[in-house]
Amino acid sequence: MRSFPIPENWEGADWVGLSDRLIDSLESSARKKTIITKQGHVIEYDEISAAGSKELIDEIDDQLARIYGLSAENLDFIKNYDIKYRFAGILMEVSAQVE
């Protein structure tokens, strides 16, 4: 990470505001979960899903693309990576189970 280039125009985005909004969005949709281990220990945690924050994550991706000079094609790839690649595998598994 030390050698990762940070462009001079990095300050052109409101990173604090965007990160605060993302944290609020993730926390507001978090669900409390409790599990009990085999040893009887109780573990409580917040389960978060980024799906409800996709619009805001896309806004952050827009800012990063602008600052790093990414093409529209690159930005589309980033925004739709989960849909095109991760969910495609799940859909194929479900489709195979149905047949």
- Exposure class string for 62-76: b at 16+ Cβ within 10 A, else e: eeebebeebeeeebe
Which of 1-10, 41-50, 58-67 shows the lowest mean pLDDT across its residues? 1-10
Return the pLDDT at 49: 82
Give the whole-angstrom CA distance, residue 19 versus residue 54.
13
Structural domain including 90 reads 10-98
Q: Please check whether residue 68 lies inside any domain of the structure.
A: yes
Average pLDDT over residues 26-35: 94
Q: What is the per-residue pLDDT across 47-72, written as a single tens digit (0 to 9) for each?
A: 988 888 889 999 999 999 999 999 99
Instruction: Give percent of the chain with pLDDT exceeding 90.
Output: 56
Q: Coil, strand or helix: which one is 91?
A: helix
pTM, two decimal places: 0.71
Return the pLDDT at 6: 86
Give the whole-angstrom CA distance, residue 20 versus residue 16.
6
Q: Please check whether residue 1 lies inside any domain of the structure.
A: no
Amino acid at 48: I
Q: Please check whether residue 63 lies inside any domain of the structure.
A: yes
Report how many domains make up the chain. Answer: 1
